Amino acid sequence: MKIFKLACRIITALFIVAVISMPAAAYESAGSTSSATAQKTSQVLIKNVNIFDGKNEKLTEGMSVLIEGNKIAEIARSISAPDGAKVINAGGRTMTPGFIDMHYHIALASARIADVSGVYAPDLDFLGIVAAQEAERVLQRDFKSIRNAMGPDWGVKVAIDLGMVNGPRI
């Protein structure tokens, strides 16, 4: 009986590891198109932008940046806009690499949790809503990736991966 229980625990642990390491595409049903999938084919050209690359002290001024899907495809002084691309004039604003926060509690970061009339452990539905709202705020502060340091984050991670919620890579 002890061997059976141990085998069940090992199988459960392996299953959890497999699910956690599964790519987001595995959650999409065959033939479905999420906004994350659609975003991969979109193109955005940002013109007249200064680039801070995190390595040099000086900005590289007057650049153009072509983004395809969610990746930077090209950075150059002048780039012709591909057909159908959205063109944004940055007006000399500065673009930086996305920041990474290595210790974050996405579902617990909002101060509003403490404001829930004496309830210090709200249910998971409430925490999911708070996490989705916080994910948008994190992204707006230019954090493109976070390492969630424990907490009920799996639902919002999957929602972000599927394009249901705007947020950083978790």
Q: Are 107 and 131 in contact (CB under 8 A)?
A: yes
User: Which parts of the chain have pLDDT scores under 70?
Assistant: 1-41, 110-122
27 DSSP 8-state letter: G
pTM: 0.54
pLDDT digits (tens, 9 = 90+) for 82-121: 999 999 999 999 988 888 899 988 887 765 555 555 555 5
Residue 1: predicted pLDDT: 56
Give the CA count within 13 Å in the CB-facing half-sphere of 128: 12
Q: Where are the domains of the chain?
A: 2-32+99-161, 37-95
CATH class of 37-95: mainly beta
